[in-house]
Structure 1
Amino acid sequence: MSVRPRPDPAALGAVLHRALADQAMTWSLGGYGAGATFRRDPGEPVARPDSGRPGLVTPRGALVLGEAGTLVPFAYETALGHEAWSQALALCRPLDALPLGSATLVSERGPDDEAARSEDRDGVLFCLGLPLPQARLLARVRGDAVRALRAACGRPADAALWAGLPGLGAVLVAAQGRNRIEVVLPDAHPGPRVHWFDKLLRQGRLHAATAPIPPGLAPVIHLHPPHPLTEGGYDLRRHAVFQDWLARWGDPALVALKDRILAGEEVVPDSRAARGAARVARMQRRYGAPA
């Protein structure tokens, strides 16, 4: 990686503002193996979080960007199999700014004072104790469910506890600082979702090996804009939006490599990240992406 991207709060704030208005945008918060995703359907009722915080609240969940503008943006594309690729804007926290250690046992955290809606702040939060360096996965419950989760405190979360959360009326909360995604259980696709893949989580990685995140940064939030490849063809407007993010917040060396390939130059990449960028550039060139 050539250069760590420099924060640009004004530009990032403008991008976040536009992204919140885009019904096709998908958001995720968490780390490698566990976290939550927020998306909404076209026409789904939506409100803003209480206390004037930026974000979105729907009947199925919530997104709160309490301090997302202070994170470090990094844009990247990832080559997938079968002539496909993904694109994302990662909002990262420097490793030295992350909390030391991570909770490994279920524990009670008290009322949810940061809930997206003020009427939910009397719910009781329980940390599920997953070894997730850059975020916490919590359950918010009320009534008899509080007693049930108190009985689980002091032990690691297991598959039985996870499977029982919908029956307790729990709301899952993925949180980092004042940023959060809330998911009303049971979740459903498409819509707000939670995930926990123990095998991946136990690897202790900050992100997938295919994501060229600069050293010293931990991705906390991801923005996943709508893909330019659609059933109706290649959407050049969508392509241009993400390429602007890539030019502003991507790795300059990978961006330059991609520009050379889009211009028709034959390039032999010399690293895993460069090979991925080259594959994406060649696929986009075949679909008519401009140089």
Structure 2
Amino acid sequence: MPELEQVLKDALMQEDCGWNMGSFGAIAEFHHVAGDPAPRQHPGLMQVTSRGGIRIETLAGVRPVAYETLSPKPHRWTQAVSLCLPRDAAAMNQRDVLTALGPDDDALRDEDRGARLFDMGLGQFQADFCIRTADPELLAVLDENAGRSLFAQGNPAMGAILKHHPRRVLLTRLGRVEVYQMIGGPDTGGKSPEGPHTHVLPKLLKAERTHSANTPIPEGWVPCCGVHPENPVITRLGADKVFNPAAFDAFQELLAAWGADAYCQGKQAVWELLNTETPAEAAKEPETREGRAGWRNGIRQWRVLHGPDRLTKAYAQHFDRGVEQTDPENPGH
């Protein structure tokens, strides 16, 4: 059984591992950018660059949940580990108005600790989505409109935030992600910058969910931090890449330890049938949704591991047409 703290320490030193904290519709991501200085060792579970950073402050009560999901692209799959807490333990402040929180004494970098922190008031269950600034012009607008919803008609605060690009700080019971880059929008050509960035998606926020319905989180648990180890077939920018067997094997170890039994059994079942060259017409897929997802990803992975042939093509045509388990927050992957 892998030891969670050591897995996370190793992952923080890997350039191709991504991280996030947030909820369904409000998320902060931390990624290394190719060409930037290599990750550095820090005390505890922390990584920080000139673009952003992450710190996991506690693992008390954490349940790691490893999973793979189906991609809309039939030669791919996605993978992650969610660090989950019981629902009661995961709850944050759920403020629904802009709220001044004072100086950010816990900022990752010394130079940021004098700047002031404001909860944006997005009301998310397991995440306080905040901004941090020392800009006098922005502070004046934020102070004047504290106690009001950012979405109230005529509130100038959101426009001021988009204009001034304050640091974003996302807080959960496990720690924080900080983003120092510009907010994606008109000033960035309409897209998020590469590396650390945030998303606030009002349509998804209205669903009032803690996570995507396609993320297989056990009942009663809430994801508070996402870990995305190197994907063996997808680059960090979302392009196809030459299969990396070491990355595949490393995640299979985590999946075996922390994944759903039904998913793993579904994958193992189809691998055994493919290994014995059982015809697709004689195979029967699992009855559960998780089992079918494991079965279908098993077909995809077998083709990558062993090369395509008529048998795997027949299995793909029979069982892997259309995708029932994709993530609307990452629709292209």
Say whether the fold is shared (TM-score over 0.5): yes
CA offset at residue 273 of structure 1?
2.1
CA offset at residue 178 of structure 1?
5.2
CA offset at residue 177 of structure 1?
2.8
| Range with greater deviation from structure 2 (74-83 or 270-279) | 270-279
- Is residue 120 of structure 2 the alignment partner of residue 128 of structure 1? yes
- Is residue 73 of structure 2 the alignment partner of residue 82 of structure 1? yes
Q: Secondary structure at the match of 2:273?
A: coil
| 2:97 maps to which of 99, 105, 109 | 105
Distance 1:169 1:206, change over 3 A: closer
CA offset at residue 103 of structure 1?
0.7
What is the match of residue 194 of structure 2? 190
Q: Which amino acid aligns with 2:88?
A: D
CA offset at residue 289 of structure 1?
6.2
What is the match of residue 63 of structure 1? 54
Distance 1:185 1:228 in 2: 28
Contact 1:131 1:202 in 2 (8 A): no
Q: Secondary structure at the match of 2:257?
A: helix
| Range with greater deviation from structure 2 (36-45 or 63-72) | 63-72
Q: Which runs of 4+ in 1 moved over 6 A?
A: none
Contact 1:210 1:273 in 2 (8 A): no
Distance 1:121 1:185 in 2: 17
Contact 1:262 1:289 in 2 (8 A): no
Q: Secondary structure at the match of 1:174?
A: strand
What is the match of residue 243 of structure 2? 234
Q: Secondary structure at the match of 1:29?
A: strand
Contact 2:141 2:156 in 1 (8 A): no
- Is residue 37 of structure 2 the alignment partner of residue 28 of structure 1? no
Distance 2:40 2:242 in 1: 33
Distance 2:245 2:127 in 1: 35
Deviations 1:232-260 (A, max 9, x none): 53221111011000001001222122111
Distance 2:247 2:156 in 1: 42
Structure 2: 5+ residue stretches without partners: 184-191, 235-239, 275-282, 308-333
Distance 2:170 2:223 in 1: 14
What is the match of residue 215 of structure 1? 219
Contact 2:173 2:224 in 1 (8 A): no
CA offset at residue 41 of structure 1?
1.8
CA offset at residue 164 of structure 1?
3.2
What is the match of residue 153 of structure 1? 146
Give the superposed CA RMSD. 2.2
Q: Which amino acid aligns with 1:79?
A: L
Contact 1:114 1:178 in 2 (8 A): no
| Range with greater deviation from structure 2 (254-263 or 74-83) | 254-263
CA offset at residue 92 of structure 1?
0.7
| 2:171 maps to which of 149, 168, 175 | 175
Q: Secondary structure at the match of 1:264?
A: helix
Distance 1:122 1:70, change over 3 A: farther
Contact 1:141 1:168 in 2 (8 A): no
Distance 2:209 2:77 in 1: 22
Please report the TM-score for the alignment, with normalisation by the length of structure 1.
0.88
Q: Which has the higher contact order (CA 8 A, sep 6+)?
A: 1
Distance 2:59 2:111 in 1: 24
Q: Secondary structure at the match of 1:288?
A: helix
Distance 2:71 2:44 in 1: 36
